[in-house]
Amino acid sequence: MRLIIFGAPGSGKGTYASRLKSKLGIVAIATGAIFRELAKEETSLAETVKSFLELGQLVPDDIVIDVLKGRLMKKVLEGFILDGYPRTLVQAKALDALASIDAVIHLVVPDWIIIERLSNRRICSKCGEVYNIRFLKPRRPETCDKCGEKLLQRADDTPKVIRERIKIYEKQTQPLLQYYEERIPIVRCKCDSIDMPPEAVVANILERLEALDLT
Ligand code: ADP
Ligand code: ZN
């Protein structure tokens, strides 16, 4: 199965993708996490990527598409869920040339939940698992349930950069929905309560994929 999980920053893409991949036996490819790793290197590419991440702006398409190609090629046959890609029409078209997508999961989340989630978000410094200090707490404070590493706040989860990322999502990424609506089944997933357990959302997504004959 080849899926895209689509939604605003903080809509839960990473949280659900990480659960869906285990349930479906596919890999999750999260471009944001890939870039955060890449930014730690000491190369000029890393410097460039870092400068965009810090501002909450999109990494340029040519860089993103190169990175995606490298990761996707090996996974096309096994199935995958793309988290954070595509974010522009150019990226969507590049993907079309690489693989056919079975469905887009669209997470619809009100703004206030997004702000609440992003400002209280913590991620594992090692495996990237996502937590929220109010609504999705780790079992031990500041510690990853999965690998025991320390949890950190992302450098781009500050109020100013959060606002910028939401603005960019609305302007550059959201219009992509129309592109997919004309081509691929969309599983729309509305989330109006902040304490909805991720497992319930994931169960709902799986049911809907089943109804499309995809599982
Ligand atoms: P979120 O969805 O919460 O904003 P991500 O981890 O998906 O977080 O992305 C973090 C950052 O990585 C983005 O703000 C952007 O700078 C960069 N990035 C990730 N994916 C892409 C992409 N497909 N195109 C351009 N930039 C990207
Ligand atoms: Zn971890």
Which of 36, 50, 165, 208 does the annotation list as catalytic? 165
pLDDT at 109 over 90: yes
pTM for the whole structure: 0.93
The pLDDT assigned to 73 comes to 83
Ligand 2 centre to CA of 26 (Å) is: 19
The 8-class DSSP code of residue 165 comes to: H
Which of 21, 36, 50, 87 does the annotation list as catalytic? 87
| Average pLDDT of the residues in 161-182 | 95
Ligand 2 centre to CA of 104 (Å) is: 27
Tell me the residue type at 48. T
pLDDT band per the 50, 70, 90 thresholds, residue 213: confident
Q: Which atom of ligand 1 is nearest to the CA of 87?
A: 23
Nearest residue by C-alpha to atom 14 in ligand 1: 56
Cβ(45)–Cβ(38) under 8 Å?
yes
The mean pLDDT value of the chain amounts to 94
Query: Residues lining ligand 1, CB < 6 A?
Result: 9-10, 13, 31-32, 35, 52-53, 56-59, 64, 84-87, 91, 156, 165
Cβ(114)–Cβ(18) under 8 Å?
no
- Proportion of the chain above pLDDT 90, given as a percent: 84
165 is annotated as an active-site residue: yes
For residue 31, give every residue at least 6 positions away whose Cβ sits within 8 Å of its Cβ, in sequence order, or none.
64, 67, 68, 82, 83, 84, 85, 87
117 is annotated as an active-site residue: no
For the chain, how far is it from start to end, CA to CA, in angstroms?
8
Q: Which of 173, 121, 170, 126 is nearest to 145 (CA)?
A: 126
Ligand 2 centre to CA of 142 (Å) is: 11
The pLDDT assigned to 185 comes to 96
pLDDT at 78 over 90: no
Nearest residue by C-alpha to atom 23 in ligand 1: 85
| Average pLDDT of the residues in 71-97 | 92
pLDDT band per the 50, 70, 90 thresholds, residue 195: confident
The ligand minimizing its distance to the Cα of 173 is 1
Which of 19, 36, 50, 121 does the annotation list as catalytic? 121
Structural domains present in the chain: 2-109+186-211 (3.40.50.300)
- Proportion of the chain above pLDDT 70, given as a percent: 100
Ligand 2 centre to CA of 8 (Å) is: 23
